[in-house]
Every structure is written in structure tokens, then in C-alpha cells.
Structure 1
Amino acid sequence: MSHAQRLWELLRPLGPYRALGKYTAGELAGEGRALDGAEEQLESLEREAFLDTAEDWGLERIEELLVRRPVAGTPQGRRKALAALLRIGGDSFTLAAVNDNLKGCGLNAVVSETADPGVVEVRFPDVPGIPDGYGTLRKIIEDILPCHLQVDYVYWYITWAMVEERFGTWGAIEAGGYTWEQLEKLVR
């Protein structure tokens, strides 16, 4: 029911609004449209003001508060990534918390400690070679990790044993028309 109809039902018992005439109908329609517009704006404000429900400009406003934008593309992914970035605080530097934050940001990266103090390794599971958008990923990872740590990035490629098992001969590789970059990432 529109606000014009609600106003009509509310004001009908009053004398001047008993009969819906030309002027009273126009007056109520104008006021109803204004109230309908205000309601739409309030609904938009209510939706965009909370991270759990934001879909458009609310997400953009939160992203403006941060140094880096999340790599997620969908509103749901952006909400999840922003929640992960916003919960980073003074106690967010345990290995589990760092990996949780990376996962929450939509990054396919895993941090692990090494035997050397102050050195961590970052791996990209399920992504052979250097991942697409590596420059952006690296900046986000290094923003999340404590700055005193040395970060070693570890990449993985196909091994010669995997090539021999999969193709058998160089002729089979050449028949596939693979470039070296394509071949080194054929780990599956």
C-alpha cells in the first residue's frame, strides 16, 4: 500500500477528506509520493549502513577507510573480505589469525612459519606458478603480516617426473602445442 493510500485511509474520517475530490486526491498523491521517496531512502540507508547487508555505496564507503581494496568481486565476497580486514588488531598476529584474515580477504594464500626466527613462507595452494594479480596480492599480504617479518614466497610447478608420467614423450608435448609457461603449470 502506498503512502497516499495510507493517508487517505487515515484522514477519511475527517470532514474535508470524506470525498476524494480533485484537490484532496492531488494533495494526498503529492504527499504520498514524497513519503514513498523518503521510505526508499531510509530503506537504502538501513541496508547500506551495516556491513552484513551493504551491497553498493555502503561497501564503497567502508573500503575508502582502508589502504587496500579487497580482491573479491561479489558483494558477499566484499563483505566477507572487509569483515576480515576490519577485525585485524593488536592480537591478530598469531599464525592462525593471519591465515584466517588472508582467507577472509578472499586470498588463496597460506602463511607458515619457518625454522628461521622472523621468517615466514607464503604459499598459494591450488595455484601453480605465480598467481594472477600477484602484485596486488603481495601488497595485501604484506599489509596484513607484521612488518618485522621477512616474507619468502613459495611457488610450485610441474616436476620432470610429472611431465614423464603425463606425456611420456616430447612428441606428445609438442602435439599439445604447449608453451613453456603453459607446460610448467600443468600440475593436475
Structure 2
Amino acid sequence: MKHADYLRQMLAPLGVYRLEGTCNGGELEAVGAALDGCAAALETVEREMLLTTAEGDGLERIEALLARRPVASVLERRRAALAALLRIGGDSFTLSAINDNLAGCGLNAVASETEEPGVVEVRFPEVPGIPDGFAEMRAIIEDILPCHLEIRYVYWYITWAMLQARFQTWGEIESLGLSWSALEKLVR
């Protein structure tokens, strides 16, 4: 309901005002339009002030507070990534908290401890080879992981055994017309 209609409904029972086709009616329209504008502005502010509902300016303002921007571009994943970046604090250095933050930032990365003290391995389980946008991912990962740890990045590629199981002859592989780097990532 428009605010002008609401104002008319409030004043009608008084019976004192002529609300249609008069100066009073025009004034109610003008005041109602101004109130409609205020309500729309307040609705936008209310939406953008909460991370869970922000869509544009609110997300950009939160991102401006952080050293890194999230990798995710889809709205829901971007919100989750910002929430994860905002969760990083002094108690975020357990392995599960680190992996939660990595996942929340939209990174398909998993950190794991090694037998060697002070060394952490980071894998990209769903992505064969070096992931696209790795430089940006690396910067975010190195911001999340404690600085005293050495980080080893582990990548995976197709093996000869996988190729032999999937193709009968080398001719089948050549018929695909793949480059060597595309062949290395042909794990699916």
C-alpha cells in the first residue's frame, strides 16, 4: 500500500477533510510520495547492512574493510567467503578452523599437517593441475595460514595407469587433439 493511501485511510474517519481532487488530496499525495521514497531507502539500507542479505554496496563496503577480496563471484558464495574472512581471528588456527575458512572463502583447497613440524600441505582436491586464478588464491591462503608455517602446494595430474585404463591406444588420445597441459588434467 502506498503511504498516500494509508494517510487517506487514517484521515477519512474524521470526516473533516476533502481528500480527493483538492489541495488536501494533493498534499497527501506529495507527503505520501516522500514517505514512499524514505521507505524504499530504508529498505535498501536494511538489506545492505546485513551480510546475509547484502547484494551490492553492502558487500563492497565489507570487502573494503578486508585486505583481500574473496575469489567467489556468485552472490551466495561471495557472502559465505566474506563471512569466512570476517571469522578469521586469533583462535582461527586449528586445522579444522583453517579448512573452514578456506572453504568459506570460496577456495577449493584443503590444508593438512605433515610429519615435518612447521610444514602444512595445501591440496586442491577437485581441481587437477594448478587451479585457474592460483596467484589470487595463494595470496588468500597465505593470509589465512599462520605466517610461521611453511606452505607446500600439492597438485595432481592424470597418471599413466589412468590413461591406460581409459584409452586402448595412443591413437585414441591423439584423436582428441589435446595439448600436453590439457592431457595432464584429463582426469574425469
| TM-score, scaled to structure 1 | 0.95
Aligned-pair CA distance for 1:14: 4.3
Conserved 8 A contact 2:83-2:104:
yes
SS in 1 for 2:70: coil
Query: What runs of 5+ residues in structure 2 fail to find an aligned partner?
Result: none
CA distance in 1, matches of 2:127, 2:91: 30
State the partner residue of 2:165.
165
1:6 counterpart residue number: 6
RMSD: 1.3
Amino acid at match of 1:159: T
- Unaligned stretches of 5+ in structure 1? none
Q: Distance in 2 between matches of 1:38 and 1:148?
A: 51
After TM superposition, the score normalised by the length of structure 2 is 0.95
* Alignment of 1:110 onto 2:110: yes
Q: Which residue of 2 aligns with 1:144?
A: 144
Amino acid paired to 1:12: A
Q: Runs (4+) of structure 1 moved beyond 3 Å?
A: 13-16
| Residue in 2 that maps onto 1:176 | 176
Distance between the aligned counterparts of 2:113 and 2:13, measured in 1? 76
How far residue 19 of structure 1 moved from its aligned partner, in angstroms, is: 4.6
**Which whole-Å CA distance do the structure 2 matches of 1:20 and 1:183 have between them?**
76
CA distance in 1: counterparts of 2:89 and 2:113, whole angstroms = 20
1:48-127 to 2 correspondence within 5 Å?
48-127=48-127
Match of 2:176, as an amino acid?
Answer: G
Query: Matched residue pairs, number?
Result: 188
Could you tell which deviates more after superposition, 62-71 or 9-18?
A: 9-18
Measured in 1, the distance between the counterparts of 2:118 and 2:19 equals 82
Compare 163-172 and 33-42 and name the one that shifted more.
Answer: 163-172
The superposition leaves residues 89-140 of structure 1 with CA deviations (integer Å, 9 ceiling, x where unpaired) of: 1010010100010011111000001111111000000100000111111011
The 8 Å contact of residues 111 and 121 in structure 1, kept in 2 or not, is answered as: yes
